[in-house]
Structure 1
Amino acid sequence: MSQETDSSPTATDHSTEHSTRGAYVTGGAEFTRDTNYIEDRITRDAAPGSNGEPGWPVEAGRYRLIAARACPWANRTVIVRRLLGLEDAISLGQPGPTHDARSWTFDLDPGGVDPVLGIERIQEAYFKRFPDYPRGITVPAVVDIPTGAVVTNNFPQITLDFSTEWVDFHRPGAPELYPEHLRGEIDRINKRVFTEVNNGVYRCGFAGSQEAYDAAYDRLWTALDWLEERLSRQRYLVGDTITEADVRLFTTLARFDAVYHGHFKCNRQKLSEMPALWGYARDLFQTPGFGDTTDFVQIKQHYYIVHEDINPTGIVPKGPDLAGWLTPHGREALGGRPFGDGTPPGPVRPGEEVAAGHGAVG
C-alpha cells in the first residue's frame, strides 16, 4: 500500500505516536505519518518473518487481535473479523479508549489485565519480541498467544489477510470482501481514500501552520466531493457488494461529525449535510458488522482526552445527536446486495458487544 513515509520520532516520543497512530508534525507545519510497521504476515504457507525468522502459519486459536474500539484503523479489523466470522479462530482483546505516553492499556478488563495474554499494556507484547522497539506502540496488533510476542501491526495487510489467508475458517455465507476480479479497483480506491480521507482528516487536525492546514483542508474536501458524486450513482464503492474499500471508508465517516468536523477543523460541512455520503454511511451502519462495532463514547473519549495538544482541557463534548444513524437511508433504490451471495453475520459474540448507551439510539 502506497503511503506517505518519513523517519519516526525518537524512541521516547511515544505520546505523539500513539495519539496519531505513528504520526507527527514536521518542522512545525506539515503532518506526516510514520508508515513503517512490522510487516510479518500470517499466511497459509507460513512465509518467513522478519530477519529470516520462521513464518507465522494460519492456525485457529493461536493469535489474539488487539484492537481498541476508539481507533479507526483498529475498528476496521474488528469489522472484517466479524463479517467473515473469524471469532472462533482469532480471539479479540480490546484496550480502553485512552492511554498514557507508554502504550494502550487493558484498563477495561478486570484488574487491568488482558485475560488471555496476562499483560497490562500492549507495549509488553512488542517488547517481548523487540526489546528495543523504537517506533510507536500501535493498534491493531496481532499477538502470538503461546509466546506473548507481537506478530504484526501492519493494519492494511491484516484485513486483507483475514480475507485471503484465513478462508478455511470463514463462516458459511461469509462475503468476499476482496474478490480477485475487483482487487485492482479496490486497491486504487483504497489508496486515494487513505491518502486524502483517512489520513486527510489527520493532516487537517495536526497541521502546524495555517498554510499547511489550508492545503490539507482543500485536499480533504476535494476527495469528499469526489466520493459524494461517486456514491450518488452506486450503492457501494466498488461493485455491487460491500468490499474492503467500504470498510476502510466507513470508520472515518463514523467519526466525522463526532470528532473530525470540530476537533480536526474539517468543518466545511457535516457528514449529515452530504446526502450521498450520509445515506451511504447510514446504510453501512445499519448493516450487521458496522454499527454494532462502533462505540461513539469511546471514540470521543480517545480523541478529546488523548490529544492534549489540540484539546488541552480534555473536555469531551456531549454531542452530536446520534439518532440520525438509525433513520431510513433509501440506498436500496441503487440496487446492490450487501453480502453478495452470502449472508449477514449472526449476533455479536457475547462479551464483544458495544456497551449500552455507547452506540446510536433511536
Structure 2
Amino acid sequence: MNAVSWVPVASLLAWVWLLLGQGFFWRTDVRLPRSSEPDSWPSVAIVVPARDEAEVLPLTLPTLLAQEYPGTAEVVLVDDGSRDGTGELARTLAAEHGGLPLTVSSPGEPEPGWTGKLWAVRHGTALARAHADPAYLLLTDADIAHSPDSLRRLVAAAVSARLDLVSQMARLRVSAPWERLLVPAFVYFFAQLFPFRWVNSASARTAAAAGGCALVRAGAAERAGVPESIRGAVIDDVALGREVQRTGGRIWLGLADSVASVRPYRGLRPLWRMVSRSAYAQLRYNPVLLAATVTGLVLVYLVPPVAACTGSLAGAAAWALMAGSYLPIARYYRVPLWTAPLLPFTAALYLLMTVDSAVQHRKGRGAAWKGRTYSPSTRSPEPPPANSGPAA
C-alpha cells in the first residue's frame, strides 16, 4: 500500500474520531434543560438591535410583544441607523398589536471600535437598566420569531439550572433550494466546532452562544463587562459565551423548538455572504489556520467521495459515516434525507466561502454587513476555533 492509499484510511479514522470523540456534535437532542417554574418570576428586558429590518419585523416583533410571561417584561428595539423606516414600523406594530411595552430608540452611529450590533445592544441594555434594572436580558435578533411561551421557558430553565447564559440556535428558514442545501449544514458545522455537550458541561472549556436568542443574567453580563468587553467582535455570540464563561458564569447552548428565524435567503449569493463575512474572523485572520482548515476540509470531506469513486473501501466507509452523521440535522430541518450524501459538495462550498472570506479581508471589505465595513484596527480578537472544520 503506497502513501496515497493511506489518505482514505486517514479520512476514515478522522470520521471515527469525530463521531466518538467530538462531543457527539451530530446529535440534535440538546434542548432546553428540564425546569420547574420559579416561585417569583424575575424581570426581563428584551433587547432587539435592528438595522433595515422592515421586511421581517411584521413577522417577528408581534411575537415578542405577545409573550405570555408571568413576570415584568419590556421590549427595547434599537433602531441602528435604518434607512427603511424600521423604527417607525416598530411603533406602528406596537400600536396595532399591543402586549408588552415597547421602547424604540436610536443611538446614532457607532463609536470607533464598536460593531453596529453591539453598539445597539449597549444602548438598549443601558435604556433597560435605566427603566427597570431587569434581572435578565434577552438579546434577540430582529429576524427571530418566538412562540408565546418562549421567554417563560428560557427564564424557567435559567433559574432552575442556575445558568447565567441560556442560548438557543433558532431554527433557520429552509424553504428555497439553496437554503435546504446550505442552512442545515451551517448548524451542523457550528455544532462540530462548538459541541453543545462540551459547552454545557460544568467543567467546560469550550464556550459559545447563539446570538439570535440569548438570555443572560444581568449580573453576569455586568461581571463580564458585556457588551463593552466584546465591542468589536464580528462573531459576537461566541464572544458573549466566552466572556460569560471566562468570568465564572455557567452557560448553556442548544437547539430551539420554539424560536425560528424568518429571514429569507433568496439564492446562493446572500447565503455565501452570510458565511464569508465572518468565516476568516473565526480563524483569527490567521493564514496558517486558514491553510490548516482547508487541508482538514479536504481530508475529512472531499477525499472520501473521490476515493470511494475510485474503489476505495475506506473512502466509501468514511463517506457513509459522514452521511450518517448528517441525518439527524436533516431530520431536524425536515429536508430530504438524500441531501446527506451531498455533504461533501456542501462542504466544498463552505471551503470556498472561507477562502473568499480571507480574500475579501485582504481587500479590506471582509467584515462588511448592511453598508458597514469593520477594519482590522476596530475589531477585538475573535475566539479561537475549537477544532479544524468550516468556520461558522
Q: What TM-score do you get using the length of structure 2 for normalisation?
A: 0.29
Task: Work out which of the two has the higher radius of gyration on C-alpha atoms and give 1 or 2.
Answer: 2
Q: Which has the higher helix share?
A: 2
Q: What TM-score do you get using the length of structure 1 for normalisation?
A: 0.30
